[in-house]
Chain A
Amino acid sequence: MPSSTPRSGIDPMEWWRRFQEEHAWQLREFVFTLGLLRRNPSAVAGSCIIAAMVFLALAAPWIAPHDPIRISLSERLSSPSWHHLFGTDELGRDIFSRVLFGARISLRIGLLVVGIAGGLGTVLGAVAGYVGGKLDDAIMRCLDIVLSFPSLVLAMALAAALGPSLRNAIMAVAFVMIPKFARLVRGEALAVREKPFIAAAKVSGAGHGWIILHHVIPNCLSSVIVLGTLVVGETILIASSLSFIGLGAQPPTPEWGAMISVGRKFLMDQWWYATFPGCFILVTVIGFNIFGDALRDVLDPRIRR
C-alpha cells in the first residue's frame, strides 16, 4: 500500500484554505472577471435569460400547469386563455406546459453537444498543437474536411444515416461541432507550447500526456468556455432544425422544433401552435449569444478594461 497522502482525511475548510493559497492568482482573476461581467449590460441580460431558462427547465414539473403529454380531445386546438396560457395542440395538450418541458430537452441537447464536442475537440486540438508535425497535419486535414460541409447539411446527412432519433441527432450535431473547438485549441496550444513553463516541466521529467493535461488544456480553457457558450446557441438552432425536418426528437416528445413542425400544419387557423415554441428558441439562443459575446469581450486581454 502506498503511504496515505497528507490530503486524505482533511476537513473541507482546511482544503479550501489550501486551495485559496495555491490558486490565489486564478481566484483573483476569476473575481475580477465576474466584476467586469457585472458591469457589462449584455452579459447581465444574457445571463438573466440563461438563468431564467435553466430555472424554467428545472422547475418544469412543479410550475407546468398541466401534464405535457396528457391528451384531452375535448379541448383540442383551443386558443390561448387563462386556463391554457399558450393554447392547446391538436390532441388537447397544453402548449405552455409542453414548451416548459421543451426547455429541459433543448438545454440538455446544448449541454451534451458542448460537452462531447468541446471535450473531444479540445483533446484533439491540444494534441495536434502540442505534438505538431505529421500528426498535427493529419488531424487538422481531417477536421478541415468536416468544415467543408455546411453544418446543417452534414448534420442532416449524419442524422439520416444513423436513423431519426434525438440521441442520433445529438451525436450528429456534436460531430459537426468538433472542428470548431479543435481549431481554436490548436491555435492556443501552438502558443502555449513555446512558453518557458513547458520547458521547465519537460526538464523536471513530465511526460507529454501529463503536460497536455496539466498545462496545455488548462491554458486554453477560457477560450473554450467562450466558444462553448456560443456553440450552445448554435446547437439549439441546428438540433431544433433537425427535429423540424423530422430527424431529431420524435412527435410525442415536447421538443420545440418538433412542436413547430406539427404546428406548421395548423398555422393558418391556429397561429399560437407554432408561434410560442419558436419564441422560446429565439429568446434562449439570444441569451447564449449575447452572453458569449460579452464573455469574449471581457476575457480578451486586448480589449479587457
Chain B
Amino acid sequence: MRLLRYIAKRLLHLIPVLLGVTALVFVISHAIPGDPARMMAGQKASREAVENLRRSMGLDRPLHEQYLRYMWGLLHGDLGRSVRSQRPVAEDLKDFFPATLELTLASMSLCLVVGLPLGILSAVRRNRPVDHASRVFSVCGVSMPVFWLGLMLLLLFYRNLQWLPGSGRLDVGLDPPASVTGLYLVDALLEGNGPVFFNALSHIILPAFCLSYVYLAVITRIVRSSMIAVMEQDYVTTARANGLAEAVVILKHCLKNSLIPTVTIAGLSVGELLGGAILTETIFDWPGMGKYVVDSVNFLDFPAIMGFTLVVSLSYVFINLTVDVIYAFLNPQIRY
C-alpha cells in the first residue's frame, strides 16, 4: 500500500519533468536555429517551399501559439515529418526502435553478467593482482571513446581474426524471424529457428560488448566499493564467527546489501547506453534509432533529430522512474 502511494507520488512528480523536457526540445527546435523552416525543409529547398512550410507549420505565428500546437501534436503522437524519408518521424522511429532495444538489453545483460562477478571478485581479492587488473580495466572503460573501441574491435575480430561478422543484425541471405517482439534473438527462439538465432547472436556480440564496456567499468567499480563497505560491517563478522561458509557470507549477506547502489547506477546507465547507441550503431551498421539519427544528422534532417531526442529522453525519464520504484522495493528503509 505504501509502495503504491510512493509510485503515485512519483508519477505526479513526473508531470513537471515531462513538461520541462518537451519544452526544452521545443526551444531547441523552434527558437535556437536562425530559421527553423529552412532547417526543416532542408538546405536544398527553394525559397517558396520554405515559405510554404513556414506557413503550413505555423512558424509565422507567435511562439506561445507554436508551443501549444507542438504539444497538441505530441499528445497525438505527431513528431513531425522526416525530410529524408518523407514519412512521419514517429513511424520511422517505431521501425528502428526494436533493434536499439535489443542492443541495449544485450549490453545491459552483459554489464550485469560480467560486471557483478568482476566487482565481487575485486572486492574479495582487494589489492591483489585481480583487483589491480580490474581497476585498469575500469579506468580504461570510463576513458574509452566508444566509436574508436568499435573500430578496434572490428579490426581485430572481423578483419584480422575473422571470428565475428562486422555489420547488420543478420547475414545478408537470411530472412529475419517472424516479428513478435521485434527482437531477433527472442523471435528466433519463439520460432524454434536455430540457425537464425545463432547468426543473430554472432552479429550482436561485438556491438553489445562495445556499447557495454563503459558501463561494465562503472558497474564493476560500484559493486567493488559497495561490497567493501558492506564487508566491513559488524554483522558480516558475526556471520563469519557463527561459522558460515565464506561463499554464503559473500553471496548472501554482503551481495544483497551492496546491490542497492548498483541498481541506481544500472538505471542511470541505461539512459547513457541509449546515447552510446548512437555511436555503436553507426560503427556496426546496426539498423536502430542511433544509426537513423546519425544518418539524419548528415542529411540535416532536423525533425528526425528532434524526434529522436525527445523519444530517447522520455525513455530515460521513465527508466529512472522504474529504477526508483525498484529501489524503494529493495530498500525498506527508504522514505516514502
Contacts and interface: CB of A to CB of B under 8 A. Distances in A.
Interface in A116-166: 141-142, 144-146, 148-154, 156-158, 160-163
Interface string A285-300: 1100110000000000
B305 interface: yes
Interface in B153-203: 154-155, 159
Given A148-B20, A161-B28, A282 B140 contact: yes
Interface residues of B, number: 50
A155 to B, nearest CB: 9
Contacts, number: 138
B152 interface: yes
B279 A245 contact: yes
B58 interface: no
Contacts of B151: 260, 263-264, 267, 274-275, 278
Most chain-A Cβ atoms within 10 A of its Cβ — which of B29, B143, B297, B300?
B143
A285 B146 CA distance: 13
B51 interface: no
Given A145-B20, A148-B316, A281-B148, A161 B283 contact: no
The prevalent SS among residues of B at the interface is helix
A245 B278 contact: yes
The prevalent SS among residues of A at the interface is helix
B282 A162 contact: no
Interface in B79-128: none
A237 interface: yes
B288 interface: no
Interface stretch (B61-69, B248-256, B267-275, B326-334): B267-275
A246 interface: yes
A240 interface: yes
B143 A286 contact: yes
A28 to B, nearest CB: 31
Nearest to B315: A150
Contacts of A282: 140, 143-145, 148
A158 B32 contact: yes
A153 B147 contact: no
Most chain-A Cβ atoms within 10 A of its Cβ — which of B24, B272, B293?
B24
What 6 A-B pairs come out closest when comparing CB atoms?
Answer: A278-B148, A145-B20, A150-B275, A152-B275, A285-B143, A157-B309
Given A150-B274, A152-B275, A285-B145, 4 more contacts: A150-B312, A244-B147, A245-B278, A267-B159
